[in-house]
Amino acid sequence: MIYTLQTATTIENVLRNELHLGKKYVHQLRMAKAVSVDDQLVSWTVQLPARTILTIDIPETKSNYLPASISVPIMYEDEHLLVVDKPKNMATHPNNSSETSTCMNAVMRHVTHYAEHVHRLDEGTGGLLLIAKNPIAKAALDYALANNEVTRSYTAVVEGRMVQQQGTIAKPIGKDRHHNTRRVVAKSGQVAVTHFKVIARTAKTTTVKLTLETGRTHQIRVHLAYLGHPIVGDTLYGAKLQGTTYALEATELTFTHPITHKVITVTKK
């Protein structure tokens, strides 16, 4: 991996505070003498000038997902990460080591070595899924996601005509004590924030674009149902209009690339 310093700094600072690697992994890199400048080892605590090029030899790591006989559409890819279009009614990842029908199994057919999802989509939600292709990209993207630096936008069709053109739903979400898989708005739940904007209306439905600040389980589904506008087909959350699945798609991802520092936007038309 090639990493170019954006400012004058040290290797130690890059690994810990720019790439956000854990102590154990940093120690592994140090023991392997995996970081060099112009093929030379340099002190990790000496300040290097901006534009210095680091070469990081990533220790061999393999993901545990079995490759599948199925594939998924790839919307963006480089040597560090990829974005795929997860089909509806496909789980993001397997629940046991023998399962091979999930999105991550399909990704392993393409990548073959290392791939780990940065976030997840509910099984019934289709659309864009961000995946790291090495542990360094994974750590940096995990940090970006946790700090609201990955913008995830969705499109949903909900029941009824929403009166409000746009707004923010800031209601905590917790488990439903009476249902194993449902979530509910609850005072004791985790903080959850969803922004929405109406983009179309019909006599019986409204199409909305939604952007997440947090990533709670079923967040969009719970918040829209709380407003009295469940997603069309989402019978788990009270929808009456039927469909083969519920009408929710992850349609846009925007993030700063952890290695190149370029802003990447991937859109599903």
pTM above 0.95, yes or no: no
Q: What is the model's pLDDT at position 14?
A: 98
Q: Hey, what long-range contacts does 60-64 have (CB within 8 A, 24 or more apart)?
A: 61/113, 61/114, 61/134, 61/135, 62/113, 62/114, 63/104, 63/108, 63/113, 63/114, 63/115, 63/116, 64/97
The pLDDT tens digits for 128-171 are 999 999 999 999 999 999 999 999 999 999 999 999 999 999 99
The pLDDT of residue 157 is 96
Least confident of 15-29, 45-59, 238-252: 238-252
pLDDT at 88 over 80: yes
pLDDT of 269: 78
Domain boundaries, the chain: 2-56, 74-147, 152-250
pLDDT at 75 over 90: yes
pLDDT band at 241 (very low <50, low <70, confident <90, very high): confident
Banded pLDDT at 221 (limits 50, 70, 90): very high
Mean pLDDT of 213-222: 93
Is the pLDDT at 242 greater than 80, yes or no?
Answer: no
What is the pLDDT averaged over residues 217-228?
A: 96
On the question of a common fold for 2-56 and 152-250, the answer reads no
Q: How confident is the model at residue 198 (pLDDT cuts 50, 70, 90)?
A: very high
- Is the CATH code 3.30.70.3450 the one for domain 152-250? no
Average pLDDT over residues 189-195: 96
CATH superfamily, domain at 74-147: Pseudouridine synthase (3.30.2350.10)
Averaged pLDDT, 191-216: 95
The answer, yes or no, to whether residue 60 has pLDDT greater than 80, is yes
How crowded is residue 199: how many other Cβ atoms within 10 Å of its Cβ? 12
**Is domain 2-56 classified as CATH 3.10.290?**
yes
State the catalytic residues: 122
